[in-house]
Structure 1
Amino acid sequence: MSDKIELPDQWHKLKQFTKARVALGNVGTGLPLTVVLALKHAHALAKDAIVTKLDIEGLKKNCEELNIPCQVFKSKAHDRLEYLKRPDLGRRLDLSSNSIDFGKADIVFVITDGLSATAVNKYAFEVLGIILLGITKKYKVAIALVEQGRVAIGDEVAELYRADFVAVLLGERPGLSSPESMGVYTTYKPKLGLTDERRNCISNIHSDGLSAIQGSTLLKYLIDRSFALQLSGVDLKIEIGDILENKKSV
């Protein structure tokens, strides 16, 4: 009989705090089959997320239920392969006419697929539904649905609406722990040619990240502060922990 004592894996306790692949165990010099299959499955979900499509009809229905005007656009990327190869085309709108008048909006919310339409289809109106009622009492709001869009496309959409503020809700690059993570990028006084230091970002809205309530709380904060200070981006200092903690205490 061996006198060898098996010590507990000191890394195992970390599994309750992270989705990172730690304390996976081993079979000889390799990984357990269940771990290998789980990794392959996560990889497949991430690949599938990139090619999912924006649920235009479902999102339009949500807009109608909230009585928010909605327009559908496409970027200059004609298909998904071109979208992935040419990020620049995903930043510009494909407009058949530049003389269309979309009216004036104070705030335009741009909902676009990004790299995971699954995330946007699932979480966009979970976030917006919490704050739209209050916002529409103070601001004129419009929603734009954009197929094959990237973050900067919000600037061009905002110019069409002569909007003072744009929030772009899009699917973030899927990872092996979350294929359906949504981000929100906000800009005050958006216009074509702006660079990313003029934007604020709310990232990782998904089931294991920020909740819809937390995401909407941060979005409402950015709207209020951007209009109050008339700026956005690196000059707008935010303490995310303090904001969310204050929300809990209300």
Structure 2
Amino acid sequence: MNDPWHNLRRFTQARIAQGHAGCGLPTEASLDFELAHALARDAIHQPWDIERFAEEATLIGLEPLCLSTPVAGRVQYLQRPDLGRCLDEVSRQTLLERQQPAVDVALVISNGLSSIAVERHGLALLKAIVAVYQDIPLRCGPVCLVPNARVALADQIGALLNARLSVIVVGERPGLSAADSLGIYLTYAPQVGRTDAERNCISNIRPPEGMSYQAAAAKLAYLSYEALQRGLSGVGLKDDMPKQLLD
């Protein structure tokens, strides 16, 4: 008997139509699940080589600024989400003392919950984002590199840089079909205390299986422009981007 679920496997990485051996999974499916689980754990616990990332960003003409949160390590990062939402005092003073003019976009990069994601895709996505912002044009501040950050940290950084928008590129929580996915979160008029309902998210950036760097950057540019025009972000800002712009 033909099982229609088997045809659907061509269109998704989700674990469907795995078959069965008695009341359990076949050996191949079981081992594949254990491998995916191990990859997800590695993605979370692997540290981010921020110094190398900063060097590579400098080579493509960007100004990286390495900052820190109070998080002491990856275990504490998982146990204390609150510590990932704020800068440590040294980093906060660093931004306060810059005394630079206001910028349109505060751009933040973090490994978040997947160091593998930012190692594989972070620099290429960053290049695509900077390129589309130059075309709009929008003025970006320094590229803030912050290991062990949570999404809300971009609110504090955006406020300290007097930015109209904050944008954070962050490693997403690994799933059992994707351990290397990046997400982008955009917030209008960033300040400490913004809620997740006031942000827009672009998810699953991990070519070739997920969204491409160019498509993600194009959508970010569209949402950034619309946010500045309408004076809002989050649930009030709908993604009505015409398909031909994405293509």
**What residue number does 1:50 align with?**
44
1:1-250 matches, within 5 Å, as 7-96=1-90, 98=93, 99-101=96-98, 103-104=100-101, 105-136=103-134, 138-141=137-140, 142-207=142-207, 208-239=209-240, 242-248=241-247
CA distance in structure 2 between the aligned counterparts of 1:66 and 1:224, rounded to whole angstroms: 25
The alignment's TM-score, normalised by the length of structure 1, stands at: 0.89
CA distance in structure 2 between the aligned counterparts of 1:205 and 1:139, rounded to whole angstroms: 22
**How much has 1:162 moved relative to structure 2?**
1.3
- Residues 161-208 of structure 1 deviation map (CA, whole Å, 9 limit, x = unaligned): 111111100011100000011100001110111111111100111132
**How much has 1:10 moved relative to structure 2?**
2.4
**What residue number does 1:3 align with?**
none
CA distance in structure 1 between the aligned counterparts of 2:104 and 2:235, rounded to whole angstroms: 22
> Which structure shows the bigger proportion of residues in helix conformation?
2
Structure 2 unaligned regions, length at least 5:
none
**How much has 1:13 moved relative to structure 2?**
0.7
Instruction: Detail structure 1 runs of 4+ shifted over 6 Å in the superposition.
Output: none
**How much has 1:63 moved relative to structure 2?**
2.4
Letter in 2 for 1:27: A
State the superposition RMSD in angstroms: 1.8
The alignment's TM-score, normalised by the length of structure 2, stands at: 0.90
Asked if the contact 1:218–1:244 (Cα under 8 Å) also holds between the matched residues in 2, the reply is no
CA distance in structure 1 between the aligned counterparts of 2:234 and 2:178, rounded to whole angstroms: 26
Q: Which of the two has higher C-alpha Rg? A: 1
CA distance in structure 1 between the aligned counterparts of 2:84 and 2:204, rounded to whole angstroms: 21
Task: Report the count of equivalent residues.
Answer: 240
**How much has 1:245 moved relative to structure 2?**
4.2
Percent identity over the alignment?
37
Report the CA distance shift for 1:205/1:22 in structure 2 as closer, same or farther (over 3 A). Answer: same
- Residues 8-57 of structure 1 deviation map (CA, whole Å, 9 limit, x = unaligned): 22211110111111111223333221111111000000011111222312
CA distance in structure 2 between the aligned counterparts of 1:116 and 1:84, rounded to whole angstroms: 12
Q: Which piece of structure 1 moves more, 21-30 or 158-167?
A: 21-30
Aligned to 2:156, the other structure's residue is in SS state helix
Asked if the contact 1:114–1:172 (Cα under 8 Å) also holds between the matched residues in 2, the reply is yes
CA distance in structure 2 between the aligned counterparts of 1:92 and 1:45, rounded to whole angstroms: 28
Asked if the contact 1:107–1:163 (Cα under 8 Å) also holds between the matched residues in 2, the reply is yes
Q: Which piece of structure 1 moves more, 200-209 or 99-108?
A: 99-108
